[in-house]
């Protein structure tokens, strides 16, 4: 809030398309980037450099880009170049969601690829939407409902929450939350004192389920983030405590009136008016000055009802409802995040309260592959020991097997599993109802997957080389003389 980051000494080590998904709403490309840079934090008001790293740090991220199935690759400048992808007029990126010249919704994905989100590699996960409980029920009621808009909305709500904390004001939240939530939030703050988070990082936002009723619909979203807690005393003095980054997992419950439909034009424009798409006259406006739309009572979009945790009965009841597709699926395309795997394994392996060096080696090996530092692993363990983080145990055999496969996959990241690492995998398996033979089966399944992946990559490179040679030979062929 009031900071910008400048990157220098940028080096890209790896850039590849990790996954592609298509449905009736969007084509989605997930791009994996492994790079390094030296970062500086700069105060927006003064221009002063507050912190700077002389040495480059490595990072891994997934960039998710979306566009409509009807969109075609542009043969002219588009959003990246600062032009309207429809008419070509110059744009002030970030200031409007509608082109002033042609009226096109520029971030709708109808004309060009749009960056939907950037996710740290350790937080990235993917789950087929059809496996989310009651997904099909929601799609029948609202055919344009999509994950991208929900993730965008929840991300905006999250940052408005942080702004409310740091500014000690409800104004940032009033447009995005119910009056009841705002009143309760104010009451809690008065009771526990003023506190906020520094060095905040939003890890991931993922839709987990629905509660659909006759008059009101609710969605349950898992938000994972981190920050350093800061507590301010009665005389506005910061109380000195141990400054350690804290992992937080929260469930955001957003609601809207039943029957409200998704506006596809505003998919990635949650900070703009959902009615007309216009920029709001104030960051904290509750009513649009262009069309007079009321923004915080659920008639025009999703608003925050409350924030809870993963042990809340209302949440557990929602995620326990399995769709027919999910119950019958033996395998699916789920990809669980590395942080989830590390957290669940730490939660299980450290249940006896003892931090074993061998257990730490396996956790750090998995974390290192995804550019998670040992400090981040220690932060996870510290949060678990303090009772601030809890991940529900796998709900069924499918989730348990997916967890074991993911752990085997990450342990095999360097191509081998030591006897000590296999022992820790066996201990994990026993906690979730599997045997030593199942661990061996999981490792072999992962080895087969790696072999097939490497073979496909080898064939792809061979095809590309053959096509390149054919093209080169064609260019070198002598031109035939014209016949007289």
Please check whether residues 310 and 345 belong to one and the same domain. Answer: no
In-domain check, residue 11: yes
Q: Which residue reads 């031109």 in tokens? A: 479
Q: What is the extent of the structural domain holding 31? A: 1-71+113-120
- Radius of gyration of the CA atoms of the chain, in A: 25
Residue-averaged pLDDT of the chain: 79
In-domain check, residue 80: no
What's the rounded Cα separation, in Å, for the pair 214 and 212?
A: 7
**pLDDT for 256 beyond 90:** yes
User: How many CA atoms within 13 Å lie on the side-chain side of 378?
Assistant: 6
The count of structural domains within the chain is: 3
Please check whether residues 368 and 434 belong to one and the same domain. Answer: yes
Residues in the chain: 484
CATH number at residue 40: 3.10.450.240
With cut-offs at 50, 70 and 90, classify the pLDDT of residue 386.
confident
Please check whether residues 158 and 247 belong to one and the same domain. Answer: yes
pLDDT per residue as tens digits for the range 331-360: 445 566 778 778 887 887 676 666 677 777
In-domain check, residue 330: no
Least confident stretch, 148-157, 387-396, 463-472: 387-396
In-domain check, residue 97: no
**Percentage, residues of the chain above pLDDT 90:** 14
Least confident stretch, 128-142, 296-310, 326-340: 326-340
CB 250 within 8 Å of CB 307: yes
Mean of pLDDT values over 182-201:
77
Mean of pLDDT values over 139-163:
90
Q: Strands 57-67 and 114-120: what pairing?
A: antiparallel
Q: Which residue has the higher pLDDT, 394 or 307?
A: 307
Please check whether residues 147 and 275 belong to one and the same domain. Answer: yes
Please check whether residues 134 and 197 belong to one and the same domain. Answer: yes
Q: What is the pLDDT of residue 139?
A: 92
* Secondary structure class of 314 (helix, strand, coil): helix
Closest residue by Cα to residue 165 from 194, 136, 125, 144: 194
* Secondary structure class of 361 (helix, strand, coil): helix
Least confident stretch, 152-166, 312-326, 446-460: 312-326
Q: Which residue reads 């960051």 in tokens? A: 283
Listed residues 120, 153, 184: the one ending a domain: 120
Listed residues 264, 294, 322: the one ending a domain: 322
Q: What is the pLDDT of residue 138?
A: 93
User: Apex CA 33: angle with CA 31 and CA 37, to 5°?
Assistant: 150
- Return the structure tokens found at 236: 């506005």
Residue 64: exposed, middle, or buried by beta-carbon count in 10 A (0-12, 13-18, 19+)? buried
DSSP for 413-465 reads TTS---HHHHHHHHHHHHHTT--HHHHHHHHHHHHHHHHHHHHHHHHHHHHHH
CB 185 within 8 Å of CB 192: no
In-domain check, residue 104: no
Least confident stretch, 103-112, 115-124, 295-304, 341-350: 295-304
Listed residues 258, 287, 322: the one ending a domain: 322
Please check whether residues 391 and 435 belong to one and the same domain. Answer: yes
User: Apex CA 430: angle with CA 429 and CA 433, to 5°?
Assistant: 85
In-domain check, residue 98: no
pLDDT per residue as tens digits for the range 445-481: 888 888 888 888 888 888 888 888 888 787 777 766 5
What's the rounded Cα separation, in Å, for the pair 92 and 95?
A: 6
Please check whether residues 131 and 190 belong to one and the same domain. Answer: yes
CATH number at residue 364: 1.10.3680
Please check whether residues 318 and 342 belong to one and the same domain. Answer: no
What's the rounded Cα separation, in Å, for the pair 52 and 39?
A: 6
In-domain check, residue 272: yes
* Secondary structure class of 392 (helix, strand, coil): coil
Please check whether residues 25 and 137 belong to one and the same domain. Answer: no
CB 262 within 8 Å of CB 302: no
CATH number at residue 264: 3.10.450
In-domain check, residue 93: no
The verdict on pTM exceeding 0.85 is: no
Please check whether residues 209 and 342 belong to one and the same domain. Answer: no
Please check whether residues 192 and 286 belong to one and the same domain. Answer: yes
Please check whether residues 156 and 28 belong to one and the same domain. Answer: no
Neighbours of 105 (CB within 10 A): 22
């Amino acid at each position: 809030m009031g900071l910008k980051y400048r990157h220098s000494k940028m080096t890209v080590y790896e850039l590849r398309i990790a996954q592609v998904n298509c449905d009736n709403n969007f084509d989605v490309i997930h791009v994996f980037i492994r790079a390094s840079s030296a970062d500086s934090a700069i105060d927006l008001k003064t221009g002063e450099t507050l912190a700077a790293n002389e040495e480059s740090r490595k990072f891994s991220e997934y960039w998710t880009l979306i566009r409509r199935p009807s969109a075609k690759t542009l043969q002219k400048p588009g959003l990246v170049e600062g032009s309207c992808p429809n008419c070509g007029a110059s744009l002030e990126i970030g200031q409007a969601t509608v082109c002033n010249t042609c009226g096109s919704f520029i971030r709708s994905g109808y004309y060009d690829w749009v960056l939907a989100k950037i996710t740290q590699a350790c937080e990235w996960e993917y789950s087929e939407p059809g496996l989310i409980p009651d997904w099909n029920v929601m799609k029948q009621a609202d055919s344009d409902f999509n994950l991208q808009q929900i993730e965008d909305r929840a991300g905006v709500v999250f940052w408005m929450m942080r702004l409310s904390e740091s500014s000690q004001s409800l104004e940032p939240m009033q447009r995005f939350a119910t009056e009841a939530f705002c009143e309760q939030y104010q009451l809690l703050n008065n009771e526990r004192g003023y506190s906020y988070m520094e060095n905040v990082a939003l890890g991931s936002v993922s839709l987990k389920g629905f509660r659909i009723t006759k008059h009101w619909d609710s969605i349950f979203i898992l938000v994972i983030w981190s920050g350093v807690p800061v507590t301010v005393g009665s005389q506005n003095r910061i109380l000195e405590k141990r400054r350690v980054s804290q992992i937080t997992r929260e469930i955001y419950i957003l609601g809207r009136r039943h029957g409200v439909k998704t506006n596809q034009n505003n998919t990635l424009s949650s900070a703009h008016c959902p009615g007309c798409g216009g920029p709001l006259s104030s960051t904290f406006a509750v009513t649009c000055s262009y069309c007079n739309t009321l923004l915080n009572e659920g008639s025009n979009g999703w608003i925050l009802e409350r924030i809870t945790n993963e042990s809340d009965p209302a949440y557990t009841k929602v995620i326990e409802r399995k769709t027919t597709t999910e119950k019958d699926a033996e395998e699916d395309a789920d990809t669980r995040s590395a942080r989830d795997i590390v957290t669940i394994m730490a939660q299980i392996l450290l249940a006896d309260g003892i931090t074993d060096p061998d257990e730490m080696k396996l956790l750090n090996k998995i974390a290192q592959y995804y550019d998670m530092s040992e400090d981040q692993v220690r932060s996870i363990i510290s949060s678990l020991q303090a009772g601030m983080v809890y991940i529900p145990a796998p709900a069924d055999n499918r989730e348990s097997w997916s967890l074991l496969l993911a752990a085997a996959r990450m342990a095999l990241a360097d191509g081998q599993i030591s006897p000590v690492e296999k022992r820790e995998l066996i201990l994990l398996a026993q906690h979730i109802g599997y045997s030593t033979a199942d661990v061996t089966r999981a490792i072999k399944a992962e080895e087969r997957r790696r072999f097939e992946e490497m073979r496909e990559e080898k064939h792809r490179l061979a095809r590309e080389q053959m096509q390149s040679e054919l093209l080169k030979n064609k260019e070198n062929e002598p031109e035939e003389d014209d016949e007289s």
